[in-house]
Structure 1
């Protein structure tokens, strides 16, 4: 988003015009930014057989998935409904990597029947596949490399105490199950978390995977998952993609030489591709002066963007409608009946009731983690594509919130009301 003639624009479209057309609160995504990130990742790994798989859980809107499909990348999903959505978006089953994490066996069977690729997260699942299907389904393995790195504890998931993946120390057990049932092992994969500070973590992961690969002669790919760091504010560190690409590509080419043939190098970025594209536009309801601080109360909350409360995540906030006002310190808070803080002690141009604020870097794990808490509707979503804003999800209504609820007490309440009326008539 850039400042031009005192107005914030996305692809030349004034954000206030988008807010007026579609209402607030509103998620707005910039398609050009998504394409830019895809191109940057590909450029960083030029010269190797790279496959990019979009981690759909970051933002699952059908139009976003179709944009990814148009850009020629595959998709990684974690539920059978995400798999269905990917197929609806036009991905072929073999382009969909399904990675369950403790999912129920019937769901996993349903996904296999859709024809998608399976990434096994635990030994009992590998055993169940062998018992049920024998050698019918090729399987990739999600490995826990027992490495602690990345951002805050909640997003460090590659260490030995994490629920994710099969510990690399269990390689002998994996091989025993695969050999027993003849299960083809076609890929090795890791899920290590987010916000790695440098390339060395990826190289450590590579060492683990490359060592294991020697025991699996039929591999088609090595999948590094993600872990890329994006910048959330001025001066914030971020993953140096060219440096990462050069170092990991060199290590990968050396591995392929030792392995005896070329396999595919895969990454599964979610946040990297969509985070910077997203803007959550909110309206200011109240500016509330307290003795110790001033609260800006907006028409959104943790029900629409939970990352600040769940992960202590920083999101830059822009006063779209008064960008040149005198700066003051504010706590920007939501309308949810909980402690619901987007930002504390934040310096913003003077905020007035009715102003429009934009929470930046809201493309990843924003709408996809939204809820209906406090019986609130989820916002609409808009994609700016080729210089034009398109509605890609309608705003929810009260009718959407109660759809599916079943009333079992209407008759009892009617009878009780009639009995009360009769009692009053006879008094």
Structure 2
């Protein structure tokens, strides 16, 4: 969303016009931004045979997935449902890697039946996989590198107490299972968390992977996960993907020479690709002045965007209806019967009841984590593509919420 001639616009279309056409609350995605982010990553890692695998859990709308595939990325899924949506979006099974955590083994079996790439993240499942498939179906291993990284403990996934991955300290147990059942390991994978700004963290991950890779002679890829941080507010420190790409590809290529053949370098960005493309448009229902705080209550809440309450995440808020007015300090809250603060003590252009506010950087983990809490329907979704705003998900209704309920005599 850009300021164009004093009007907040997406690809030149005023946000107010989009809100008027489709109503609020409304998720709006900029297709150009998604394509540019994929291009940025491919350029950053151009020194190696890079394979960008979009982490689908960030945003799974089928039209978004089709756009991502059109821009040359593969996809990483964490559930069979995500895998089926990806297949419907046109991804081939070989373009999909399935990296679940804590699932019943039957899901792994179904993933194999679909022809997906499989990454395993615990010894029990690796044992069952080896017993069932032996050397007939290759798989990858997700390792826990025991590296603390990321902007929030809740989204840090590579430390020693994380549920994700097989501890690198258990590498001998992995090798025993692989040897016993002649399992073909095609890839090694780590993902240490989200919002990593330090290049050194990725280099440490590389050291961990390279230190064990020679024990697996059938590798096709090494997967460094993601965690690339984007800016949520002015002055935010972000991941320098060009620096990460340059340094990581250098040592990766050196490792490949030592390994004896070229491998693919994988990254799995989710937030990096879609976060900045997304805007949540909401309407100010009430402006409530108290002796200590002036609240703006909007027609949305943690049921639509839970990140501020779950992670204390920051989303920049703009009054797109009254952008030139003098600024005042407000606390923007939702309409849920729960504390659901979108932003406290924010300087906004004067807000009037009925004004449209924009919550920026809402493309990742916004709609995908939404719910029907308080029996509220989820919002519609729109993609702006080629200068046109197109509906890609209808707004839910009460009938949608009631559809699966069964009323019995009591």
Same fold (TM over 0.5): yes
Q: For 2:284 and 2:258, locate their aligned partners in 1 and report how far apart those are by CA, in whole Å.
A: 60
Post-superposition CA distance 1:309-364 (Å, at most 9, x none)? 00000000010000011101100000000011000001100000000000000000
Deviation per CA, 1:249-280: give whole Å up to 9, x if none.
Answer: 11101100110110000000000000000000
Which residue of structure 1 lines up, in the alignment, with residue 358 of structure 2?
A: 358
The secondary structure found in structure 1 opposite 2:20 is helix
TM value normalised by structure 1: 0.95
Match in the other structure for 2:338? 338
Partners of 2:395 and 2:106 lie apart in 1 by: 33
Aligned to 2:2: 2
Partner of 2:387: 387
Tell me, yes or no, if the aligned pair for 2:47 and 2:246 is still in contact at 8 Å.
Answer: no
For residue 47 of structure 1, give the secondary structure of its aligned residue in structure 2: coil
CA apart distance, 1:219: 0.2
* Distance apart, 1:242 and its partner CA: 1.2
- 2:212 match: 212
Structure 1 segment 33-182 matched on structure 2, within 5 A: 33-182=33-182
Deviations 1:82-136 (A, max 9, x none): 0000000000101100001001122222222111011001000001111222222
Q: Distance in 2 between matches of 1:99 and 1:242?
A: 26
Structure 2 gap ranges (5+)? none
**Structure 1, 103-112 or 7-16: larger mean CA deviation:** 103-112
1:402 maps to which residue?
402
Instruction: Measure, in 2, the Cα distance between the counterparts of 1:221 and 1:24.
Output: 44
Q: After superposition, give the CA deviation of every residue in 1:175-216 in whole Å (9 maximum; x if it has no partner).
A: 111111111000000121011121100000000000110100
SS in 1 for 2:109: helix
Paired with 1:215 and 1:135, the residues of 2 have a C-alpha distance of 16
Distance (Å, rounded) in 1 between the aligned partners of 2:107 and 2:308: 32
How far apart are the structure 1 equivalents of 2:147 and 2:241? Answer: 21
Residue number in structure 2 paired with 1:421:
none
Q: Structure 2 CA distance, aligned partners of 1:54 and 1:187? A: 17
Looking at structure 2, the residues matched to 78 and 347 of structure 1 have their Cα atoms a distance apart, in angstroms, of 39
* 3-state SS, counterpart of residue 244 of structure 2: helix
Matches within 5 A, 1:11-26: 11-26=11-26
Equivalence for 1:230? 230
Question: What does residue range 270-349 of structure 1 map to in structure 2 within 5 Å?
Answer: 270-349=270-349
In 1, the alpha carbon distance for the partners of 2:33 and 2:47 equals 24
* Bigger Rg, structure 1 or 2: 1
Q: Which residue pairs with 1:260 in the alignment?
A: 260
TM-score computed with the length of structure 2 as normaliser? 0.99
The CA deviation string for residues 150-187 of structure 1, in whole angstroms up to 9 with x for no partner, is 21111111000000000011111111111111110000
Cα distance in 2, alignment partners of residues 134 and 216 from structure 1: 15
Please give the secondary structure, in 2, of the residue aligned with 1:275: helix
| Secondary structure at the counterpart of residue 51 of structure 2 | strand
Whole-angstrom CA distance in 1 between matches of 2:5 and 2:148:
46
Q: Which residue of 2 aligns with 1:418?
A: none
Query: 2:177 aligns to what SS in structure 1?
Result: helix
Q: Provide the rounded CA distance (Å) in 1 between the counterparts of 2:389 and 2:329.
A: 33
Separation (CA, whole Å) in 2 of partners of 1:284 and 1:115? 48
Counterparts of 1:391 and 1:357 in 2: how far apart (Å)? 20
Q: Indicate the residue corresponding to 1:197 in structure 2.
A: 197
Alignment-derived partner of residue 422 in structure 1: none
Aligned equivalent of 1:419: none
> CA separation in 2, counterparts of 1:408 and 1:113?
39
Q: Which residue of 2 aligns with 1:415?
A: none
Alpha-carbon separation, structure 2, partners of 1:193 and 1:36: 23
